[in-house]
Amino acid sequence: TEQDFEDFAKRYPELMSKSQQDYIGVGKGWFGILNVLFGLMSRDVAQAKYQLKYALEHPESKYVKPIAELEAALATALDQLPVIQQIKEKFGSLRFYINGGTDAHHAYISFAESMSYNTCEVCGSPGEARNDGWTKVLCEHHHRERQQQLAEAERIQKVSKPKLSDE
């Protein structure tokens, strides 16, 4: 939802401000995976910002690099952030599409996508792919809940189906 996107945007403003999508298109169960992914993708920016802040607050420190060098490192880290094109679920797994980024960003994405294969999209518990006409990764509890919902929907459909004159 848009609110979920805004929550991530507050935590990872530089990354999310470059997003082409203004919502998170997966269940909340995968938000832990996304949180780790966004943290890893934003790590170089966070580190560069911290080093620059430290240097500005402690100019007398012998461990501080020149301010211009730290500003350049921050600019590079910001430039290397990918543009998020789309975050969604497809065929029961997380899909995360970007433009740009580094080899490390692409490796983080592959890892996050692989984590989704075993994580319930609803609650984040261990899960497995379930195919009831639509593939979703669900834990046992949410799989049973979904089975009940599908059975109820099928029952309602049978009850409300109009009878044809020759039946």
How far apart CA 7 and CA 76 sit, in angstroms, is: 25
pTM of the model: 0.86
Query: H or E stretch including 83?
Result: strand 83-90
* Predicted local distance difference test score (pLDDT) of residue 167: 55
* Predicted local distance difference test score (pLDDT) of residue 153: 85
Q: Are 77 and 51 in contact (CB under 8 A)?
A: no
Q: Taking residues 15-23, what's their average pLDDT?
A: 91
- Residue 64 DSSP class: P
| pLDDT above 80 (res 163) | no
* Predicted local distance difference test score (pLDDT) of residue 161: 62
pLDDT digits 0-9 by tens, 102-148: 999 999 999 999 999 999 999 999 999 999 888 999 999 999 999 99
